């Protein structure tokens, strides 16, 4: 099976390497030559354009920053969808909008191309092939995509969540819940530390108790132990995902009060720290309010 892979960033690069190491013939394209060079070192062949990458692919994978990039590569100037051979399969693994997914699916059907949306979670696991993958599409197309997807995520983590567009929907909700959890945990930690609770004790109670979350159990430790704020996923993408989640809520007619307040908070954080700050800059925001870092072993952090 020949696989084209477009988008070789922090996530796409290691994902492409996993596919190339999985026994597939892979061609790779990115606007950054150094990213293509890294993919070639991992076993892929270089492509000169998105259309060239797609032209000989049985399966095309795209992993791009935002919906405008997905739309441009597949439907716009990139020309990737039109370049695919008849009967090929396109898999978009970006975090994108269900509305765009519907447009891509319609265009793909007119071209005789199958399409599934398969966004991913758990960025730190990309190089290990242990991603969570949420797949939307027809059962036969999902089955066809599985051999490629299972090079990037364990079989039990590659979950068929519904028809086309369902993968995008689930990923937006996963991200929404994570951002809410991150903000709530940062707030609770700052309040507790200011109230004089030793930080490690406070963290242990929160992470093991009924309010525990994946954020507390995993990513929060990057801040508390090492002062890292998750720069691998920039704050600009956080607010992009929150915008799409709120648009989805509005479309579904669901009041999203918690989500709206979270979006407002991250908007202030974005204004203060910039789009390039890490996804956990919300913790930094509360540290600045408290006047002390939330750090194990710090004089004011416990």
Tokens, residue 25: 């013939």
CB 186 within 8 A of CB 123: no
CB 58 within 8 A of CB 1: yes
The tokens of 75 are what? 């439907």
H-type alpha helices, the chain: 12-20, 33-41, 50-55, 67-74, 80-83, 98-110, 139-149, 166-194, 199-208, 214-217, 220-226, 235-252, 257-273, 281-290
CA distances from 86 to 37, 59, 110, 124 (A): 29, 11, 10, 35
Please, which residues bridge with residue 133 across strands?
Answer: 120, 158
In the set 69, 171, 263, 295, the catalytic residue is 171
φ/ψ of residue 116, rounded to 5: -130, 145
168: Cα within 13 Å, side-chain hemisphere? 29
Where do we find the tokens 């793909």? 108
Adjacent-strand bridge partners of 26: 3
Q: Residues 6 or more apart from 139 whose CB is under 8 A from it?
A: 160
Give residues with Cβ within 8 angstroms of 144, minimum separation 6. 59, 89, 114
- 171 given a catalytic annotation: yes
User: Taking Cα atoms as reference points, which of 231, 103, 250 lies closest to residue 172?
Assistant: 250
Q: What is the pLDDT along the chain (302 residues), one digit of tens a residue?
A: 999 999 999 999 999 999 999 999 999 999 999 999 999 999 999 999 999 999 999 999 999 999 999 999 999 999 999 999 999 999 999 999 999 999 999 999 999 999 999 999 988 788 899 999 999 999 999 999 999 999 999 999 999 999 999 999 999 999 999 999 999 999 999 999 999 999 999 999 999 999 899 999 999 999 999 999 999 899 999 999 999 999 999 999 999 999 999 999 999 999 999 999 999 999 999 999 999 999 998 765 44
Domains of the chain: 2-164 (3.40.50.720), 170-290 (1.10.1040.10)
Cβ atoms of 45 and 68 within 8 Å: the answer is no
């Amino acid at each position: 099976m020949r696989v084209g892979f477009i988008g070789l960033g922090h996530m796409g690069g290691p994902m492409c390497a996993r596919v190339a190491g999985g026994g597939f013939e892979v061609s790779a394209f990115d606007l950054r030559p150094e990213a293509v060079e890294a993919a070639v070192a991992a076993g892929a062949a270089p492509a000169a354009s998105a259309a060239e990458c797609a032209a000989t692919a049985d399966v095309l994978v795209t992993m791009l920053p935002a919906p405008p990039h997905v739309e441009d590569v597949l439907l716009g100037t990139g020309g990737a969808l039109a370049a695919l051979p008849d009967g090929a399969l396109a898999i978009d693994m970006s975090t994108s909008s269900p509305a765009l997914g519907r447009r891509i699916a319609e265009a793909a059907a007119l071209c005789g191309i199958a399409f599934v949306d398969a966004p991913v979670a758990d960025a730190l696991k990309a190089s290990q092939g242990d991603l969570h993958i949420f797949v939307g599409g027809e059962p036969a197309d999902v089955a066809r995509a599985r051999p490629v997807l299972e090079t990037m995520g364990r079989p039990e983590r590659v979950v068929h969540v519904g028809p086309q567009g369902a993968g995008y929907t689930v990923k937006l909700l996963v991200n929404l819940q994570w951002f809410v959890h991150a903000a709530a945990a940062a707030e609770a930690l700052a309040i507790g530390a200011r109230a004089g609770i030793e930080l490690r004790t406070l963290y242990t109670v929160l992470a093991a108790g009924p309010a525990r979350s994946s954020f507390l159990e995993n990513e929060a430790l990057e801040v508390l132990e090492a002062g890292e704020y998750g720069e691998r996923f920039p704050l600009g993408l956080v607010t992009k995902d929150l915008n799409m989640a709120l648009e989805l809520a509005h479309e579904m007619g669901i009041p999203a009060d918690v989500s709206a307040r979270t979006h407002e908070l991250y908007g202030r954080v974005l204004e203060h720290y910039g789009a390039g700050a890490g996804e956990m800059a919300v913790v930094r925001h509360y540290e600045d309010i408290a006047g002390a870092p939330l750090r194990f072993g710090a004089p004011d952090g416990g």
